[in-house]
Amino acid sequence: MDPKSVPELKRLANHVRQHVVQMVHDGGSGHPGGSLSAVDFTVALYGAHLKFDPKDAKWPERDRVFWSKGHVAPLIYAINHEAGYVDEGALCTLRHLGSPLQGHPAADKCPYLEVSGGSLGQGLSIAVGTAMGLRMDGSDARVYCVMGDGEQNEGQIWEAAMAAAHYRLDNLCAVLDLNGLQIDGYTADVMNIAPIAEKYRAFNWNVIELDGHDMEQCVDAFEQANNHKGAPSVLIAKTIKGKGVSFMEDVAGWHGKCPSDEELEIALKELREEAASL
């Protein structure tokens, strides 16, 4: 990747964050906290590594992205807008009756989605099956799965993790958004998942730990994962829930909450000030 593109990715991440807070406000509900924490590595993936065709969402040679943490629908729609699949005018219809942009992603309404999302813990299993199928077909397409840290509580995650390592699925890369919070509070209090990196290593995964808000680290981590052979990779991205909006950062209450008119104004002001410095 041309290093000059890193500043462009940072500006894109800021733009996506503005979309997220605006969409949740316009929709009257939604999940801003986990959407904002996952922005930077998502932008790094889509902007520097992902193979896709903006004119054909079902291009057979595309890389596949599975959103196991499907409640980050605002981020999903915002990044797919930037990818060319969602009209900007549609973003303000989040969660509106009749809109394809539902509160949890619906694949029958959005052809750029591989699968509907919402039930936590299921995405990795689907990604594992897809990676196996692509390998059997001789495809060089890669499979990515974005997970939350709260859903590591689900036993199905670990069944999938064991299978992925057993079948040496090096075309699979999971990304764990380690923001430390879930809907009921800190993950360490609800169901402690630490030490999570050691757990994945024990399951024979290639583990890459990174600062999930450092764009250069994010770009490089995906590169490392793509080049690793013989085992699936997991990027454990340390992040801050609500990143980019001061009053949302590291606050469990912003897991699923709509900003008021005044809060939206403050959030956008902060993000636009940051944009001016990039």
Beta bridge partner(s), residue 151: none
> What does the block give as tokens for 39?
């922005």
Domain extents for the chain? 5-277
If 0-12 CB within 10 Å is exposed, 13-18 middle and 19+ buried, where does residue 183 land?
middle
Helix (H) or strand (E) run with residue 225 in it = helix 215-227
Q: Does this model's pTM top 0.95?
A: yes
Looking at residue 1, its pLDDT comes to 42
Domain 5-277 falls under CATH 3.40.50.970: yes
Query: What is the pLDDT tens value at each position of the chain, 278 positions in all?
Result: 444 589 999 999 999 999 999 999 999 999 999 999 999 999 999 999 999 999 999 999 999 999 999 999 999 999 999 999 999 999 999 999 999 999 999 999 999 999 998 889 999 999 999 999 999 999 999 999 999 999 999 999 999 999 999 999 999 999 999 999 999 999 999 999 999 999 999 999 999 999 999 999 999 999 999 999 999 999 999 999 999 999 999 999 999 999 999 999 999 999 999 999 99
